Structure 1
Amino acid sequence: MGKINSATGLSICIFLFISFSLNAQNPAHKKPISELFHALQSKYQVQFNYDEALVSGITLEAPPNNLSLDEILSYFEKHTRLVFSVLNKNLILVNQKPPLLLCGFLKNIENHDPIESATIQGILNSTTSDSSGYFQLEMSQNKDSITIRHIGFKTLVAAFNDLKSGECSEIFLQPKFQNLSEVIVSNYITNGINKLNDGAYEMNFSNFGILPGLVESDVLKLIQAFPGIHSINETVSNINIRGGTNDQNLILWDDIKMYQSGHFFGLISMFNPQITQKVMLTKNGTDVSYTDGVSGTISMQTEEQVNSNFKGNIGVNFTDINGFSDIPIGRNSSLQVAARKSLSDFVKTPTYREFFERISQNTEVESNNSNITNSDKRFDFYDTSLRWIYNMSEKDFLKVNFINVSNTLRFNENTVVDNQEKSKQSEVSQNSIAEGIQYKRLWNKNFTSTLEAYETDYKLRAVNENILASQRYLQENKVSETSIKLITELKINNSFTLLNGYQFIETEITNLDDVDNPIYRKKISEVLRIHGLFSNLGFRSKSTKTNLDFGLRANYIEKFNKTIIEPRFSFNQRFLEYFTFEILGEFKNQSTSQIINFQNDFLGIERRRWQLSNNQDIPILRSQQFSTGLNFSKAGWLLSTEVYEKRVNGITAQSQGFLNQYEFVKSHGSYKIFGLDFLIRKRLHKFNTWMSYSFMDNTYDFEDFEPYPFPSNFNIEHSMSLGTSFKTKNLKIAVGLNWHTGKPTTEPVDGDNIVDNKIIYKDPNSSSLDDYWKFDLSALYNIKINPNTHANLGASIWNLFNVDNIINNYYHIENNSVKEVKQHSLGLTTNLVLRVFFN
């Protein structure tokens, strides 16, 4: 597998644009319909009577010359929203067609119960079903198709003509024959976010609302809207789920494990939102089919429905140009392709400059040796995603995935040696490439099997040229992982479901340090092979008010001859109609983690490198978590609260990013968290308002460190967000405030704080940075261009009041005194997006 360069990434975007053009009518052959009327009036001696405003903007290709007048009028009606009435032989009245309305009641085909919160998607509009299963949707023309989706039912795609119009008929959906969670709270924060009965959260982008500061559905920024989830340094590559580090998150893209998550070295998500259909977020009670991720799981999924019509979009914002196409291949197959390419090769936007300044803070890119100047700083990123699905039969389903991601930062180091100018290029790059295949078989209505396999590769590489010492320092961190998984699901009866499976994982991690003067080379490559067996028994009461899952997973690690048993469970009970009570628990383990050797590793841009556990000084991470929660939902009100306790053993000091007296100390220990997550939300007409609050007491326990316990580097004791959104048919607006207490920090002692050229610190994390707060704004407007084309125009402002938040600091010795270095958050950062959709 080779790398794809940035020119190839750009070529992909151009290819997508051409594909859109090939699937659209050529506008060069179109004429205003009023011109066609004039030509027909002379040819057939007729008079068209119409309002100029009615036909303004309507263009068509001229009809063939051999058509009769009646055939031409039928041609016009077929391709426009116009209707023609011949009043006499010479006068033709032109009017607009009345809207086509489709209404119906969605019901479960097995018990005829109404289906609430289903998404009904047309060509231009979408809606959801109410508590009685009722919906109403305006269609553009008779040939339009609609897609009806619900998490517990098979997706239905039907043409308008195939459904009864003029009356609200019953439309029946078939339940999926597998153990699926049901929605217990819909529109958790905004439209498209639901809480499920297994404690997980689902984000469905087919009917998504809007959140403050975001106009694109950046997955890893969206999940930070949930209570209990933060980013300690504002990046998507350092998301902290309930106080854990980012490497403790299991990130899946169509069930492929990803070891990289961000573009711009963490400022935006690397997962193209145009091809991502839904996201599942799990903080506790993880499905037994998943391993790793001792802090949480973020699982992204692409569309599993074959699209019968071409659709696509192309968009541009202040960071990149991107495109997406969904191309039908026959009746039973479709191909989705998405690509993004940064704009930095063409223009340096204000957003680009703000992002570049943010990632290069306190690194060799920003400031070098006093005798060296940096120039020609260039940053580039691209990603390409592909998904192909094939309905082999009514019982067989095949999905193939591919993703390729790249980030590259280059700059020249310049100096003068012996009156001669010298210049050398340093660079750091981060790449991921992965492929996956999934085959599902429905043996009968009670038994299904799924076979999954993937290969994922990650590479972080830096070349640091020391021009004064004539030295080149090469660093590499590579991860290569292969996995095969088999899952079977048996529906025992209407209440019980049994899931069983096996997974094999082989992970190889290589670390390289290579210096050419003096010659030094250290390369370490390690491999772990893990076999996992898992089983889960699910219970759903006939009333669906009681839900229980209890499972066990056993992981056998060949290298250590070690077996780890992990029980997991989730319980959910609905009572008094509007209340639900839940209990969640899990044991998990993971054999990979990220460490920091030195703060200047990889030019200081991306300091963390992946490393395998050795069962000694780098133990296997093991977590235990228990939580209980209560939800109330009625009349647009939602109150949700959850209390949890979590413990993770086997963490190393190098994985925690210490910048105090423990920066270079190698030790391992644990952290323990007691926390509370709370959310209140009110929906009123077109407004949606919410407030979330989190409390966390996160402490370390390292036996080699004193005193212990002491606050974790990721202990955000209090955090709160306030937001409100407004939505009409074409306009969405959201504003919000985010606040949290400052990150823990360690200050030097007062007075004489340097001994033997070392800083003497106070107790670890005994102080805190100033509180963090920012105000965000976003707006998105939908523009209808014609029946087959519409556009979104959006704008966002991050940190509207340009608050100078300090998100990290550390101390070093300079001129025999202690100097503080501060890392600042993003200042006021704007973004604009224009996206055109083709159907």
Structure 2
Amino acid sequence: MEKRIKKTAIFFSFLFFISNGVYAQDQTDTRTLSQIIATLQEAYKVQFNYAEDVIEGISLKPPTKKLSLLEVLKYLEKNTGLSFTLMNDSFILVKPREDVILCGYLKDKDNLEVLPFATVQTPSSSATSDENGFFKIKVKNASQLITIRHLGYKTVTKAYSQFAMSGCSDVYLQSDFQLLSQVIISNFITSGINKIDNGSFQIDFSNLKILPGLIDHDVLQSVQAFPGIQSVNETVSNINIRGGTHDQNLILWDDIKMYQSGHFFGLISMYNPHITQKVSLRKSGSDVSYTDGVSGTIEMQTDNEVNRKFEGIIGMNLTDVNGFADIPVNESSSIQIAARKSISDFFETPTYTAFFDRISQNTEVASNSTTITNTNKTFDFYDTSFRWIYNISDKDKVRVNFINVHNQLQFNENAIINQEEESRDSKLTQNSIAGALHYNRVWSDRLKTDFEIYETDYKLRAVNANILDSQRFLQENIVSETSTKLKVNYKLNDRLQLLNGYHFVETEVTNLDDVDNPLFRFLVSEVVRTHGIFSQVGYKTLNNKTNLNLGLRYNYISKFSKSIWEPRLSFNHRFFDHFTLEILGEFKHQNASQVINFQNDFLGIEKRRWQLSNNNDIPVITSKQISMGLNYSYNGWLVGIDGFYKIVNGITTQSQGFQNQYEFVKSSGRYDVKGLDILLRKYIEKFSTWLSYSYMNNRYLFKDLETDYFSSNYDISHTATLGMTYALHNLKLSAGLNWHSGKPTTQPVFGNQIIDGQINYEATNASNLNDYLRLDISAIYNFKFSDKTRANLGVSVWNVLDKENEINNFYRVKDDSVMETVQKSLGFTPNAVFRVYF
């Protein structure tokens, strides 16, 4: 054995010596064409005739001495792009060759990734690199200049003769400006989900195969696959990041803050899955350029590259019909358009029926008073999205975004009044419309600026017809926000980067309650303006093992003359090859929150309304949180553990959804939450399985209510998920089992339930609902119609076991007894999709 090892060592040492010798020879044997011609003239007794400027700047390896003169001339023509014509036995004419073809593959010099859609130009022709970075262009002569441009990269301009002449070689471009973030754990849960070294998680939908229960890339359902992220009532409009409420999440669509998140009032995301390319989730350690979102940030992004060829998608599932088009305008510009429309106008599917029953459960829509019947119940939604990119130059880029979302629920209330049948219409609408302009400029390989401005508007409107009292009750909640931000990135060197900027936000919230009988009108409109200045230093070691982002944000709220300082930290270090240590921390604040005044507001469907802080009984919400995590990743295995602690001050009882003795109490307080997220994952090429577990201790402190801490309404102590995905050729399969302990609840005291006509409650949130359990499955099959057209067919079932999970309950007094109302989760809910890509 020792002899074999020695022989192997000698063999590889010999190969190393030979390869280094060859490499050294390759480096030293390259000569100028002028030197080679001088040698050839002496060796073959010939005379080369040429102009000096024709051969200037051309270098190559000398031809071997074994070649004949004709073979030498062919070699020179192939490797120089010049024409070598033997006029007689001793005279050779050298001149530029007409219509030379230059081809190659454009790649990033640092990470070797291909660069599609770059512009390659000569004074007489132009070309564009394809998806693989390949380009081919006609060149008139070897001295003609070729210019290569790509946004964010240094422009290359050099003569044809300076490119490699043998075959279609790689051409490397140097980035004008490089961000420091990179993937540290790929396939974090399954393919397409990665962990980034700045503390965030990223879902790349172009690589995401499938998730349990999902056949569309539903953004806000997908983020719930991460440990520590869940929804206590199964809706995307109530996502809880580490025990926080949904209004404490900063939701961005192409850097526009959104105040609405779902269709069907929260059962599916309102963001079209075809136009949304990537999603970034941050639980803590946010970039200093972000404000709001004291619990976390969900950032959605459309494709940021100009498309050179038309792409389209049309599809239909059991809730909507949808379409998407990526349309090239010219070589520097392209437009993306996406739209969805519910199909309930044409027919009702089992999925639609299940969704409608779920959102109307225990509301006036589902059941009215005994003398009133509800008919003609209809629900409709649509959304449209638009994104335009224009590369003004290889240094300047403009992006324009627009989104419009609409939900509408309508029904008739019918009753017999004075022996005549009367009918009145009740309606609830929820709309969002937003637009933004982004301008990016790369000034040099060290300096880059980003400027953005957006306007986002949200409106919730309900008309509730009380037919028995001849009354119309109108409610409106309107949010209008304008934001302007400037970011300046400066790269000191390959290790240090500075981020500085300014951010201005103006938010106006209007609330209206209007009754026509008796006449009553209550209108409140408030405006808060915030100025933010931020600075952050990013440090990365040359071996990319350590990454640190340390920053500070200063906020000034002019209305309250209030200053808020917010430090941010993101630290990541890889050691022993397979281990990663992460420390994240941040201070944050936000001025807006969602509250419930009465459970039957807005027909009881979307009863939350946005309100602004007044720095008095509605404080500015502030948070402090820190987390520490350790990951081990090797050979497809991933073991991750993450501990966190968070304190949020300035919450109100109205924002927490109390339905016990504190339902109508107005008080401000705080909550703190500490917990642990654990993930175990095994990834093989076609198979991925994971088991996640989260522990959380989430508690309130409202000093005006109780002297001690008590459990939060969102204190889900234990959560576990078991999931798996499998891809076999064109078939993708996925299944997932979700379990968590029951939501806290406050029950009446057994045997002494009513005192003085009021419910006598036990200690606040001392009990729990039954445990939650749900099994989801999904499958997608891909196939081709032609070389340019492909399609997929998918089916999914949510809650395969049809388990009646309790997601909420409350108590009311009726006929001197206590009645319990229990809200159930979605039952067995199938869905199917068919999509065509062309």
Query: Which bracket does the TM-score occupy, shorter chain normalised?
Result: 0.7 to 0.9
Q: Is the 8 A contact 1:678 1:692 kept in 2?
A: yes
User: 1:761 is aligned with what amino acid?
Assistant: Y
Shift, 1:171, TM fit: 6.9
Shift, 1:177, TM fit: 1.3
Q: CA distance change for structure 1 residues 408 and 813 in 2, over 3 Å: closer, same or farther?
A: same
Q: Is the 8 A contact 1:154 1:173 kept in 2?
A: no
Residue-by-residue CA offset, 1:492-523 (whole Å, 9 max, x unaligned): 11110000000111100000000000000000
Shift, 1:554, TM fit: 0.5
Residue-by-residue CA offset, 1:367-426 (whole Å, 9 max, x unaligned): 101100000000000000000000000110000000000000000000001110000000
Alignment of 1:16-55 (within 5 A): none
Matched length: 704
| 1:219 lines up with 2:219 in the alignment | yes
Q: Is the 8 A contact 2:288 2:551 kept in 1?
A: yes
Alignment of 1:665-744 (within 5 A): 665-706=665-706, 708-744=708-744
Q: CA distance change for structure 1 residues 608 and 324 in 2, over 3 Å: closer, same or farther?
A: same
Residue-by-residue CA offset, 1:649-707 (whole Å, 9 max, x unaligned): 00000000001011011001000011111111111242111111100000001101225
Structure 1: distance between partners of 2:255 and 2:503: 12
Alignment of 1:277-288 (within 5 A): 277-288=277-288
Structure 1: distance between partners of 2:232 and 2:174: 44
- Bigger mean CA offset, 179-188 vs 508-517: 179-188
Structure 1: distance between partners of 2:293 and 2:590: 7
| 1:540 lines up with 2:540 in the alignment | yes
Q: Is the 8 A contact 1:648 1:672 kept in 2?
A: yes
User: 2:197 is aligned with what amino acid?
Assistant: N
User: 2:482 is aligned with what amino acid?
Assistant: T
Alignment of 1:749-788 (within 5 A): 749-788=749-788
- Max Rg structure: 2
Could you say what secondary structure the match of 1:206 adopts?
coil
Q: Is the 8 A contact 1:707 1:763 kept in 2?
A: no
Tell me the equivalent position of 2:319.
Answer: 319
Could you say what secondary structure the match of 1:617 adopts?
coil
Among the aligned pairs, what percent are the same residue? 59
Residue-by-residue CA offset, 1:736-761 (whole Å, 9 max, x unaligned): 10000000000000112212221010
Structure 1: distance between partners of 2:204 and 2:167: 30
Residue-by-residue CA offset, 1:134-187 (whole Å, 9 max, x unaligned): xxxxxxxxx9942579xxx9699xxxxxx99x9997575644614341111001
User: 1:827 is aligned with what amino acid?
Assistant: G
Tell me the equivalent position of 1:423.
Answer: 423
Tell me the equivalent position of 1:500.
Answer: 500
User: 1:146 is aligned with what amino acid?
Assistant: E
Could you say what secondary structure the match of 1:719 adopts?
strand
User: 1:786 is aligned with what amino acid?
Assistant: S
Could you say what secondary structure the match of 2:356 adopts?
helix
Tell me the equivalent position of 2:817.
Answer: 817
Tell me the equivalent position of 1:797.
Answer: 797
Alignment of 1:111-260 (within 5 A): 145-146=130-131, 172=172, 174-175=174-175, 177-260=177-260
Tell me the equivalent position of 1:436.
Answer: 436
User: 2:291 is aligned with what amino acid?
Assistant: T
Structure 2: distance between partners of 1:174 and 1:353: 55
Tell me the equivalent position of 1:44.
Answer: none
Tell me the equivalent position of 2:58.
Answer: none
Alignment of 1:512-661 (within 5 A): 512-661=512-661
Residue-by-residue CA offset, 1:280-327 (whole Å, 9 max, x unaligned): 100000010000000000010111110000001000000000000000
Structure 1: distance between partners of 2:416 and 2:236: 40
Q: Is the 8 A contact 1:474 1:515 kept in 2?
A: yes
User: 1:240 is aligned with what amino acid?
Assistant: N
Tell me the equivalent position of 2:49.
Answer: none
| 1:663 lines up with 2:663 in the alignment | yes
Q: CA distance change for structure 1 residues 189 and 636 in 2, over 3 Å: closer, same or farther?
A: same
Structure 1: distance between partners of 2:355 and 2:656: 24
Alignment of 1:401-416 (within 5 A): 401-416=401-416
Calculate the TM-score normalised by the size of structure 1.
Answer: 0.81
Could you say what secondary structure the match of 2:131 adopts?
strand
Shift, 1:708, TM fit: 2.2
Residue-by-residue CA offset, 1:199-248 (whole Å, 9 max, x unaligned): 10011111112110001000000000100001010000000000000000
Q: CA distance change for structure 1 residues 682 and 148 in 2, over 3 Å: closer, same or farther?
A: farther
Q: CA distance change for structure 1 residues 664 and 154 in 2, over 3 Å: closer, same or farther?
A: same
Residue-by-residue CA offset, 1:525-565 (whole Å, 9 max, x unaligned): 00001000000000011111111110000110000001100
Could you say what secondary structure the match of 1:353 adopts?
helix
Structure 1: distance between partners of 2:605 and 2:207: 37
RMSD of the alignment, in Å? 2.4
Structure 2: distance between partners of 1:688 and 1:649: 40
Q: Is the 8 A contact 1:179 1:538 kept in 2?
A: no
Structure 1: distance between partners of 2:225 and 2:130: 34
Tell me the equivalent position of 1:75.
Answer: none
Structure 2: distance between partners of 1:108 and 1:432: 40
Could you say what secondary structure the match of 1:356 adopts?
helix
Tell me the equivalent position of 1:480.
Answer: 480
Q: Is the 8 A contact 2:476 2:512 kept in 1?
A: yes
User: 2:529 is aligned with what amino acid?
Assistant: R
Q: Is the 8 A contact 1:740 1:772 kept in 2?
A: yes
Structure 2 residues without counterparts, runs of 5 or longer: 1-103, 118-127, 135-150, 155-162
| 1:834 lines up with 2:834 in the alignment | yes
User: 1:280 is aligned with what amino acid?
Assistant: S
Tell me the equivalent position of 2:491.
Answer: 491
Structure 2: distance between partners of 1:591 and 1:757: 39
Q: Is the 8 A contact 1:425 1:465 kept in 2?
A: yes
User: 2:337 is aligned with what amino acid?
Assistant: V
Residue-by-residue CA offset, 1:545-587 (whole Å, 9 max, x unaligned): 1111100001100000011000001111111111110111000
Q: Is the 8 A contact 1:537 1:551 kept in 2?
A: yes
User: 1:335 is aligned with what amino acid?
Assistant: I
Structure 2: distance between partners of 1:147 and 1:244: 44
Shift, 1:731, TM fit: 1.1
Structure 1: distance between partners of 2:182 and 2:631: 15
Q: CA distance change for structure 1 residues 480 and 467 in 2, over 3 Å: closer, same or farther?
A: same
Residue-by-residue CA offset, 1:451-484 (whole Å, 9 max, x unaligned): 1000000000000000000000000000000011
Q: Is the 8 A contact 2:473 2:514 kept in 1?
A: yes
Q: Is the 8 A contact 2:152 2:394 kept in 1?
A: no
Q: Is the 8 A contact 1:449 1:487 kept in 2?
A: yes
Q: CA distance change for structure 1 residues 423 and 787 in 2, over 3 Å: closer, same or farther?
A: same
User: 2:700 is aligned with what amino acid?
Assistant: Y
Q: Is the 8 A contact 2:199 2:570 kept in 1?
A: yes
Could you say what secondary structure the match of 1:237 adopts?
coil
Structure 2: distance between partners of 1:432 and 1:225: 26
Shift, 1:771, TM fit: 0.4
Calculate the TM-score normalised by the size of structure 2.
Answer: 0.82
Shift, 1:106, TM fit: 10
Q: CA distance change for structure 1 residues 176 and 549 in 2, over 3 Å: closer, same or farther?
A: farther
Structure 1: distance between partners of 2:228 and 2:711: 17
Structure 2: distance between partners of 1:691 and 1:348: 37
Q: CA distance change for structure 1 residues 171 and 764 in 2, over 3 Å: closer, same or farther?
A: farther
Tell me the equivalent position of 2:305.
Answer: 305
Shift, 1:728, TM fit: 2.4
Structure 1: distance between partners of 2:691 and 2:116: 29
Shift, 1:105, TM fit: 11
Q: CA distance change for structure 1 residues 564 and 543 in 2, over 3 Å: closer, same or farther?
A: same
User: 1:274 is aligned with what amino acid?
Assistant: H
User: 1:819 is aligned with what amino acid?
Assistant: M
Could you say what secondary structure the match of 1:397 adopts?
strand
Q: Hey, which bits of structure 1, 4+ residues long, moved more than 6 A?
A: 104-107, 118-121, 153-156, 166-169
